[in-house]
Amino acid sequence: MNARKTSTDAEVQLFTDGGCSGNPGPGGWAFVLRHPASGKELERSGAERETTNNRMELTAVIEGLKTLKRPTRVEVVTDSVYVGKGFSEWLPKWKAAGWRRGPKANSPVKNEDLWRELDALLAVHQVTFTHVRGHSGHPENERCDTLAVAAYQKYL
């Protein structure tokens, strides 16, 4: 797995969030990508008619990383424990077990398609994850939440 860097080493910060109205249900994802040295920011969001919260959380990170044009040091800031633990704890085990999980590795990994896509992006970029508490007033997390909710409104 990629060497861990401190957040001060990051070239860019990627703030992400995803959510659903119902789980499963209509869902949205969003990210704010910031280049601290230049102050430039990029916001994007999207939605799916029928999805889960975890899929939207993963999609936000994937879509943000996909916008990068070259290998980059990235600090991903998310309120998703699922994404953070998946990256730091579960992903290496799943890969070693042939993308299986559970006792004796006999259950398929949930959201395997997205985890595989994220794994490919993690091979390109040096990524660290920072967890923030959701709905705690963190400005970028709140902005991502607002964008994600707005994105799925068209499906309600």
Q: From edge to edge, which strands make up the β-sheet containing 73-78?
A: 40-51, 25-35, 12-20, 73-78, 126-131
Name the active-site residue from 27, 46, 48, 57: 57
- State the catalytic residue, choosing from 17, 63, 117, 119: 17
Is 79 one of the annotated active-site residues of the chain?
yes
9 is catalytic: no
Euclidean distance between CA atoms 26 and 58, whole angstroms = 15
Active site residue 18: yes
Stretch (H or E) spanning 64: helix 53-66
Q: Which entry of 48, 63, 75, 79 is annotated as an active-site residue? A: 79
Check 18, 46, 64, 86 and give the catalytic one: 18
57 is catalytic: yes
Catalytic residues: 17-18, 57, 79, 135, 145
